[in-house]
């Protein structure tokens, strides 16, 4: 009988949205299985967060992007480049919706001067050849190796189509990442009895505060946020119907509000509809599977 793998989830960044803030880094997570690293999303600051978490970037095997909003991909290219500059020799498998290949090539072109200089004068391996980039367009098994099996599900996220949730199977354990989504019955089925569901969450009162401070009276902006995301009460309902063992809250909107971004508020709002285990995610939280 083979020995069970050791796996843990590390929340690298838990803030939602494109604004600049100090309280939380942008969305990114790592799953570590027997020392091998799998990244989900690559928002601004992901490389610094990896260093703070003590994660060996040379052990990164695959990167999974849920969708192409900037808060989820702002440092996708930087993650790949700095990982290469830190000694990774490849391959790194990258998955996400179109135009991920175009984005990857555009970043390589953007950093072409630096990349070529380092290859020519520092004896580094070719950067482009270490990347295997695959675009996904619909529900499928995205990836499988000896550690994990990864499936994806299209989820509703306004005009950001396609957007994906990911389901990781590790031995007999399951972790699901909702990505950015409004309440989804398909996601409930996709997450059924998961050991961990990492789900985005918004506080509707906080959304109104964001609109008032950023674009007062802009109902289109408010509707964009509300219609493309999942409220606290709805997240609790999703977790309850899916019968998940642990719900991990992530991608908080608002982020960093001294009044509204508080653990007790998130717990109370979600806990109305879900009485199971709830973890209010914070940057660098480590959760064993």
Tokens of 90: 């490849």
pLDDT of residue 220: 85
Phi, psi of 20 (to 5 degrees): -85, 130
Per the CB < 8 A criterion, the answer to whether 180 and 251 are in contact is yes
Top-confidence residue, 121 or 257: 121
Proportion of the chain above pLDDT 70, given as a percent: 99
Q: In this structure, which topology does domain 7-288 adopt according to CATH?
A: Metallo-beta-lactamase; Chain A (3.60.15)
Inform me whether the pLDDT recorded for 108 exceeds 60: yes
Tokens of 253: 């909107």
The predicted model gives 238-260 an average pLDDT of: 94
Total Cβ atoms within 10 A of residue 192 = 15
> For 139-176, how does the pLDDT look when each residue is reduced to its tens digit (9 = 90+)?
999 999 999 999 999 999 999 999 999 999 999 999 99
For residue 33, give the nearest of 49, 10, 1 by alpha carbon: 10
Q: Residue 193: left if φ>0, alpha if ψ -120 to 50, beta else—which one?
A: left
Inform me whether the pLDDT recorded for 131 exceeds 50: yes
Per the CB < 8 A criterion, the answer to whether 29 and 11 are in contact is yes
pLDDT of residue 2: 61
In the structure, what pLDDT confidence band is assigned to residue 226 with cuts at 50, 70 and 90?
confident
Inform me whether the pLDDT recorded for 95 exceeds 90: yes
For residue 43, give the nearest of 22, 23, 21, 14 by alpha carbon: 14
Is the torsion defined by CA of 195, 198, 204, 205 positive or negative? positive
Inform me whether the pLDDT recorded for 206 exceeds 90: no
pLDDT of residue 1: 44
pLDDT of residue 203: 92
CA distance 162 to 261: 29
Tokens of 201: 């969450």
Inform me whether the pLDDT recorded for 192 exceeds 90: yes
The predicted model gives 103-118 an average pLDDT of: 98
pLDDT of residue 66: 98
CA distance 79 to 82: 6
pTM: 0.96
pLDDT of residue 272: 97
């Amino acid at each position: 009988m083979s020995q069970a793998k050791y796996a843990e989830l590390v929340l690298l960044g838990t803030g939602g949205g494109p604004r600049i803030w100090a309280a939380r880094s942008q969305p990114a997570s790592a799953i570590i299985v027997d020392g091998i690293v799998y990244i989900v999303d690559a928002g601004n600051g992901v490389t610094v967060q990896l260093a703070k978490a003590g994660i060996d970037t040379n052990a990164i095997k695959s990167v999974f992007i849920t969708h192409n909003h900037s808060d989820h991909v702002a440092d996708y290219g930087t993650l790949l480049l700095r990982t290469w500059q830190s000694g990774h020799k490849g391959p790194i498998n990258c998955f996400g919706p179109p135009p991920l290949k175009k984005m990857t090539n555009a970043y390589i072109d953007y950093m072409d001067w630096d990349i070529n200089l380092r290859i020519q004068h520092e004896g580094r391996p070719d950067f482009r050849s270490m990347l295997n980039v695959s675009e996904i367009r619909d529900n499928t098994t995205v990836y499988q190796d000896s550690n994990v099996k990864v499936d994806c599900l299209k989820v509703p996220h306004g005009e950001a189509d396609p957007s994906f949730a990911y389901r990781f199977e590790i031995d007999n354990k399951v972790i699901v990442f909702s990505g950015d989504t409004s309440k989804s019955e398909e996601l409930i089925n996709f997450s059924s009895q998961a050991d961990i569901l990492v789900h985005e969450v918004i506080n509707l009162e906080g959304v109104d505060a964001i609109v008032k401070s950023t674009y007062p009276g802009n109902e289109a902006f408010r509707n964009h946020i509300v219609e493309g995301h999942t409220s606290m009460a709805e997240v609790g309902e999703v977790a309850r119907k899916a019968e998940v063992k642990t719900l991990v809250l992530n991608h908080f909107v608002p982020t960093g509000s001294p009044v509204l971004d508080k653990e007790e508020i998130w717990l109370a709002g979600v806990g109305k509809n879900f009485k199971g285990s709830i973890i209010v995610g914070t940057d660098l939280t480590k959760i064993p599977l």
